[in-house]
Structure formats: C-alpha cells, structure tokens
Structure 1
Amino acid sequence: MASHTDSVPAVRYLAVTFDCADPAELARFYSEALGLPVALSTDGFVLVGREGSPGLGFYRVDDYRRPTWPDSSVPKQAHLDLGVDDLDAAEARLVALGAVTADVQPLPDRRRILLDPAGHPFCITL
C-alpha cells in the first residue's frame, strides 16, 4: 500500500452538485433547510456551505427535466439522506420551505421521502 507523499496529489471532497433549472431557488431551499450560508453565487451556479467544509452546489441546466421517481422514465441523479430528531416536525418545516412529500413512503415510521423544489428525492431519517 502506497503512503501519502508530496508526489501524490491530495484529493478532497468539496461538494455534491445537483443539476436544476433555477440554481438560486434550489440553493435557497437547501440553505434554509440546513442552515448553510451561500458561499458562491453566479448566474449559472450557486454553492452553499461553510468555508473548509463540503457543500452543496446547484448548476443550471437549460433543458433540465425533473426526476419522475419512483417511475424511472426520468431517473433520479442522486439523493441526500438527512438525519432528524422528529420526522413530523422536520417534514412540516421542509414542506413549508418548498419540498413536497413523495407519494411512496416505504418506511414512514423511520424515514420520509420528500422531493426538493427541483424534484430531486431526498430522505429525512431518524
């Protein structure tokens, strides 16, 4: 096994980036939901997160198509799993911020599946 030396480039995790039609709107949702500040904003890209920590990025795609999960005709590209202490309270807060509760809920007593404003599924889990 190779050891880390100056000749081996360091690789670090910076962010997960989601495609969407409106980066500012999706960044607003996750910024408020997770209590993260906007770290960078351009017309086509917004990054939320704290300096020195991984963040979430949102990239404008002109022909963006919302995922149709659980139907796979337009597949989900990724999803987040967020930990919460109270499923009902967290779900109500996220819906108030613009999320939608998914129709399919396989484990509603332990996990809730929601869709962010751009249609990406994400889970809140005890």
Structure 2
Amino acid sequence: MLLQLVAITLDCPDPLALAAFYQQATGLELHPRSDADFAGINGEHGLLIGFQRVDDYRAPSWPDQIVPQQLHICFKIDEDLSETETLLLELGAGKPDHQPHGDKARVLTDPAGHPFCITTR
C-alpha cells in the first residue's frame, strides 16, 4: 500500500488567525473555503495544512509535556536564521527559552502555541 499525504490539520482556537500566520510565514495561498471553524493553506504537491477550531483549546507546553505538543513541524529556509526568526517573531511567533539545536536550528511556537523549527537548507 502506498499512501499519499494530502493534509495535516492542527487544532487551534482561531483557524483564520493561525492560517494567516502560516500564510504570511510561508507565502502559500489561503484555501478558498476557509472560515471561522476550519481554515487552511494550500501547500506544494496538493498538501493542505489545515487549522480547525477546538473549543477550550489548550496550547502545547514545550519542552515539558504537561500539555503534549501533539506534532512538530519543521521548515527549511534559504535565508539567515536570525533574520527569519525576527520576521516570524514580528508575525506573532514565540521563542521558547529552551533551544536544543544550537546554531543549526531555532525552535519557535506559532500563535496557538504549536512548536515548529526553522533550519537552513
């Protein structure tokens, strides 16, 4: 059996806001059927990154697992790590104190608290 990955969906309190963050961060297009309960961005090769509203959403607590991270997204960049980090922080990302990868990568959190990494190619 060969599976084709077509969508990844993240729980969040505000799908449109989280879709806007990732749209600005990646340059991908907003899915045309996005609304207050489910929004998405269209990725490469037909991959949809979706964001679904969850009542009483609790953000992951990283690096501890009091509230598990549930998933971790990694992005490769061509730009300077520090410059990209600054841009993402301006867009609403957070930066945990714990940075386990030294100068090779940065761990940030999106506005809903999901951890993600940026690393150079």
Q: Under a length normalisation based on structure 2, what TM-score does the superposition of the two structures give?
A: 0.90
Amino acid at match of 1:31: Q
Structure-2 change in CA distance of 1:52 and 1:106 (3 Å):
closer
In 2: Cα distance, 1:75 partner to 1:41 partner: 27
Moved over 4 A (4+): none
Partner of 1:93: 87
RMSD of aligned Cα (Å): 1.7
CA distance in structure 1 between the partners assigned to 2:19 and 2:106 by the alignment: 21
- Which protein shows a greater Rg? 1
**1:13 & 1:94 partners in 2: Cα distance?**
26
Structure 2: unaligned runs, 5 residues or longer: none
State whether structure 2 residue 36 is matched by structure 1 residue 43.
Answer: yes
Q: Structure 2 vs 1, CA of residues 11 and 118 (structure 1 numbering), >3 Å: closer, same or farther?
A: same
- Rounded to whole Å, the distance in 1 between the matches of 2:51 and 2:84 is 22
Are 1:12 and 2:4 an aligned pair? Answer: yes
Q: Which amino acid aligns with 1:17?
A: T
- State the identity %: 47
- Equivalent residue pairs, number: 118
CA distance in 1 between counterparts of 2:100 and 2:43 reads 33
Q: CA shift at 1:24, angstroms? A: 0.6
Contiguous gaps of at least 5 residues in structure 1: 3-9
Separation (CA, whole Å) in 1 of partners of 2:119 and 2:63: 18
TM-score between both structures, scaled by the size of structure 1: 0.87
